[in-house]
Structure formats: C-alpha cells, structure tokens
Amino acid sequence: MTKPLTLISHTLCPYVQRAAIVLAEKNVPFERIYIDLADKPDWFQAASPLGKVPLLKVGEDRFLFESAPIVEFLDETEPQKLHPQDPAERARHRAYVEFASQILNGIGALYNARDDTGFQAASEALRAKFLHLEAKIDPDGPFFAGASFSLVDAAFGPVFRYFDVFDDFTRLGIFDGLEHVKRWRRNLSERASVIGAVTEDYPELLRAFLRKRSTWISHQLDLHERSQPMVAAQ
C-alpha cells in the first residue's frame, strides 16, 4: 500500500491552505505535520531551500516546495481535474491564482500598516483588486468560473478567511457593493474543503498573531476587545 502524501504546514499559512483544499477536493488521503517556522527542524531546512511552507512529501526523501507547483502536481496526478481543459482558459486561471497571491501581499500590507494613512492606502489598493474581480467572476456562480470548483477557488478560500476574522473587530468596507465577490466569498466559506483547511482555533491564532504586531489593525483589535463586557467567573 502506498504511503499517504505528507503536507508540511504552518497553522496560519494561506499557501498551505491551498494545498490542503486541493487534496480535500480530490479526496486524496494525506498526513499533516505542523512546524514552528521560528524554530525550523534540520530536516525541514534541508528539504525547503526557501525555508517556507508548504512542503509536500511525495516519497521517502522526495519533497516538493512552493504552493503553485504543488497544486499543479496534484491536479496533474490525481483524478477530478480542477484546471480547465482549454489551454487559454487554463492560462487565465493560472494568472488569477497569481492574482490571489498578490492580494495576499496586499493583506500583509494591510495588517502591517503602522497608522491610519498607511492602512487606508492598503485598504484602497485591495478594494481596487476586488473591483477588478467583480467583473471577472462568473455572474451565475457559485464559483469563480461557474459551477465547477477550480484552483482559483482553492487560492481564494484562504484570502477571504482573513476578512472573516477582520470583520469580527473592524469594518473595512472593501467589499461594499461587490455583490458577485460577496456571493463568491460566502460560497467558498461554506465549502467543506475550505473549512477543513485550518484548525478550529484559526481565528484566535490569527488574532494572537495580529496582537503582537503593534500596527493600526492590532490597535483596532485591542480597542474592540477592551470594549467587550467581562464575563463573570462562575
């Protein structure tokens, strides 16, 4: 019996989530190992030349690194293709997977902004990208290109998950009036593969990550938490 694939992960990494979503969509059994990126084991540093997750272990001493080639490998080798068959459309989907990566960079700029001016600039830059997507999503949904879940959807599930947490403590307005994007976001949030790509404590882990950053958004989180009523001990 072939050993299951092993996905080397970090609890918050959105790129790991992409691989986990694709594995779940294809019903591929896999093991998952979480590592501390602040204290990387020697075997990990040997297997990951860029020092990043995800890694996908596909053999005794064989590892794939970087999320894009990992999900492409899975789509090529496992049943239930998630990429379109048409070459031009497939290239378009690959471009929007990269677009998702650029949005993740924008989210990093958002939560790293030190003041209101920087935060607003990052917010406006993100909104511009989602405005573009509003005109590109299949209007009939439920997914990016219509009825079929694709690698683009796998890339955007982790993107929208950030906003699920942000919405708990601040109002961004990035999706105001973007009805296609909002519907797509909602449909992805209800997808079993997207839900299962993180642990149940993901929201609290992300909030803990934000609290440590001393940025505009961490200040908003602190204000929100201070405003919450204290629960009396039983």
Per domain, the residue ranges of the chain are 5-77, 87-211
CA dist., res. 100 & res. 107, Å (int): 10
**Cis peptide leading into 41, omega within 30 of 0?**
no
This prediction has a pTM of 0.94
Peptide bond into 49 cis (omega under 30): no
Sign (positive or negative) of CA dihedral 194, 202, 13, 217: positive
Determine the average pLDDT of the residues in 193-216: 96
> Domain 5-77: which topology?
Glutaredoxin (3.40.30)
Strands 30-34 and 62-65: unpaired
pLDDT tens digits, one per residue of 139-166: 999 999 999 999 999 999 999 999 999 9
Domain 87-211 has CATH 1.20.1050.10: yes
Tell me the per-residue pLDDT of 102-153, one tens digit each, with 9 for 90 and over.
999 999 999 999 999 999 999 999 999 999 999 999 999 999 999 999 999 9
Nearest C-alpha neighbor of 71 from the set 144, 191, 189, 153: 153
What are 190's two structure tokens? 């209800």
